[in-house]
Amino acid sequence: MPAREVRMRGEERERLAEDLLDVWRAVPSDVVAALQGAEGTGLSMREFAALYLLAEIGRPTQRELAERIGRSDSAASRLVDRLARRGLVRREDDPDSRRSRRIAVTGRGEELLRGLERMRVEAQVRLVEELDAEERELVVRAVGLLGGAARRRAGLR
């Protein structure tokens, strides 16, 4: 299937953006509660964000991580230290450089992220459950279409 090049414009685009913002605003309280109670991790939002970023980009060097999060090398090092003490990441030797170390998310870190993603999805599902059956059917179909577009964008289909 060829990529679609039709871009939304004007009022339709603005209406969609406003509706998506309303949905995202309705979910954060559940997500924040999940983050605060996530197995007593005590992680800050910055640490969660870094953990998500590490899972997304693979095994960056500490310098690459610092650049991606807009922090100094020493601040990134302290952040990685905190995540490593909790067993969420580990430093590994870089096969391409004896002077660099790569940062990898551990199984425990991946498990924590998947659990938080599930909590976020559950908060969204609870919002959909407030709709009547016909509205839910439309949302399920629309989200299926969005999921397909996301997978195509990611090269998964």
Of the candidate CATH numbers 3.60.15.10, 3.40.50.10490, 3.40.50.720, 1.10.10.10, the domain formed by 23-120 belongs to 1.10.10.10
- Number of alpha carbons in the 13 Å side-chain half-sphere of residue 153: 8
Over 80: is that where the pLDDT of 99 sits?
A: yes
Q: Give the pLDDT of residue 25.
A: 78
- Global pTM value: 0.72
**Tokens representing 14?**
């603005």
> What percent of the chain shows pLDDT beyond 90?
40
Name the least confident of 34-48, 64-78, 105-119: 34-48
pLDDT of residue 131: 92
CB 106 within 8 A of CB 55: no
> How many CB atoms sit inside 10 A of residue 79's CB?
23
Amino acid identity at 67: E
Q: Which residues contact 157 (CB under 8 A, 6 or more apart)?
A: 148, 151
> Where in the chain are the domains?
23-120
